[in-house]
C-alpha cells in the first residue's frame, strides 16, 4: 500500500476539513523550519510567506487549533538548555498534517492549472465570460 493511502486510512478516525489559507501558511512554515519550528520562528516565517504583518497571537491560536486537529505536535524544551533560560515550544508536522497540506497543495495546483488555460490576463468579468462558455 502506498504511503498516502496508508496515511489516509490511518487518519480516517477523525474527519479532515479543508485547510484555510492561514492554516496552510502556518503548516508550511512548520515544514520549512523543520526542527527549528518554535513559536517566534514560526511567526517570522508566517509573516515572510504571507508578505504582511501578522499578530503573534494569531499564529499561536492557529498552532493550538492545528494541534487539536492532530496536524501538528508540540514539545516544550528544558529552560536550562535554552540561551535565555526560557522554555521553547517546538512544533512538528504529523502524518495527518502532512496529508492535509498535500491535499491543499493539490487543490492550489489544480486552480493554477485551470487559470493558466485562459489565454489572456483575467479579471472577474473575464472569468465570468469564460465560465459561461464552458
Determine the pLDDT at residue 45. Answer: 98
Question: So what's the pLDDT on residue 82?
Answer: 65
17 or 46, higher pLDDT: 46
| Per-residue pLDDT tens over the stretch 54-75 | 999 999 999 999 999 999 999 9
> Mind spelling out the 3-state secondary structure of the chain?
CCHHHHHHHHCCCCCCCCCCHHHHHHHHHHHHHHHHCEHHHHHHHHHHHHCCCCCHHHHHHHHHHHHHCCCEEEEECCHHHCCCCCCCEEEEECHHHHHHHHHHHHHHHHHHHHHHCCCCCCCHHHHHHHHHHC
User: What pLDDT score was predicted for residue 134?
Assistant: 56
Residue boundaries of the structural domains of the chain = 3-133
Q: What is the pLDDT of residue 2?
A: 52
Q: Is the distance from CB of 72 to CB of 27 less than 8 angstroms?
A: yes
Confidence of residue 126 (pLDDT cuts 50, 70, 90): low
Summarised one tens digit per residue, pLDDT across range 79-125 is 777 677 788 899 999 999 999 999 999 999 998 888 888 766 666 55
The CA distances from residue 9 to 1, 54, 106, in Å, are: 10, 35, 19
Quick one: pLDDT band at residue 41, thresholds 50, 70, 90? very high
CB atoms within 10 A of CB 18: 10
- 3-133: CATH, from 3.40.640.10, 1.10.10.10, 3.40.50.300, 3.30.230.10: 1.10.10.10
Mean pLDDT of 34-61: 96
Q: Please check the confidence at residue 11 and state whether its pLDDT lies above 60.
A: no
Residue 123 φ/ψ, nearest 5 degrees = -130, 180
Amino acid at each position: 500500500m502506498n504511503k498516502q493511502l496508508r496515511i489516509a486510512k490511518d487518519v480516517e478516525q477523525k474527519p479532515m476539513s479543508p485547510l484555510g489559507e492561514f492554516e496552510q501558511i502556518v503548516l508550511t512554515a512548520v515544514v520549512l523550519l523543520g526542527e527549528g519550528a518554535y513559536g517566534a520562528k514560526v511567526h517570522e516565517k508566517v509573516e515572510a510567506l504571507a508578505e504582511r504583518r501578522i499578530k503573534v497571537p494569531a499564529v499561536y491560536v492557529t498552532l493550538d487549533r492545528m494541534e487539536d486537529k492532530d496536524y501538528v505536535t508540540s514539545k516544550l524544551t528544558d529552560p536550562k538548555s535554552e540561551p535565555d533560560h526560557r522554555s521553547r515550544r517546538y512544533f512538528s508536522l504529523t502524518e495527518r498534517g502532512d496529508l492535509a497540506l498535500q491535499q491543499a497543495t493539490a487543490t492550489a495546483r489544480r486552480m493554477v492549472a485551470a487559470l493558466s488555460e485562459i489565454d489572456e490576463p483575467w479579471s472577474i468579468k473575464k472569468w465570468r465570460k469564460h465560465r459561461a462558455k464552458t
